[in-house]
Amino acid sequence: MKKPEELSRLLTEMYKETKEGRIRWSLQVQTTEHNNPSEKPVEVEDGVSWTIDECYVSYVCNYKGKDFCMITYEMIKTANNKVQTTNLVFLPPMGIRAFHLQTLLPYAITTSNVLANQIHNLWELLLVQYKTDKASVYLDVVPGTLVIED
């Protein structure tokens, strides 16, 4: 299992090589953000009703002859104009691509603000590349279903 610092260094290298067009990525996204609001769970905390969304992103590529898989998870809670997020990062083996927290938890790594920012920057770069050169980034986005269990 990589330490956050190791992943941070690796993502810095990968960002640079991606920008130079040397890495091809496959992204799979599962999100509830565009689902009908009436289908979204609502959680009440201290009298405030929070609507809950979640978004998984699987980042897969081959880097320096090795397969790389990183899955990110974001829980987004919104109430009026307030937004709260929880971010998790997982480095599962290639055989595990499930968008399910219980399955991914053993592969979680500590996420710092710096690491979250690097992942966000990679995401933005990949979206730009997808728009300009679809051959460099495969993108598959599907709606998700969120069920809150007690």
pLDDT tens per residue across span 96-105:
878 899 999 9
Looking at the domain assignment, is residue 145 inside a domain?
Answer: no
> Rounded to two decimals, what is the model's pTM?
0.91
Backbone angles phi, psi at 31, to 5 degrees: -140, 150
The reported pLDDT for the residue numbered 148 is 64
Looking at the domain assignment, is residue 36 inside a domain?
Answer: yes
d(C-alpha 114, C-alpha 5), whole Å: 10
The reported pLDDT for the residue numbered 78 is 95
Structural domain for 45, as ranges = 4-17+26-135
pLDDT tens digit sequence for 61-92: 999 999 999 999 999 999 989 999 999 999 99
> How many folded domains does the chain comprise?
1
Helix axes 4-19 and 113-132, enclosed angle (nearest 10)? 20
Looking at the domain assignment, is residue 146 inside a domain?
Answer: no
Look at the block and give the residue holding tokens 């709260």. 84
Looking at the domain assignment, is residue 111 inside a domain?
Answer: yes
Looking at the domain assignment, is residue 131 inside a domain?
Answer: yes
Looking at the domain assignment, is residue 150 inside a domain?
Answer: no
Looking at the domain assignment, is residue 149 inside a domain?
Answer: no
| Averaged pLDDT, groups of 10, the chain, 150 residues long | 84 96 95 91 92 95 96 94 94 88 93 91 96 90 74
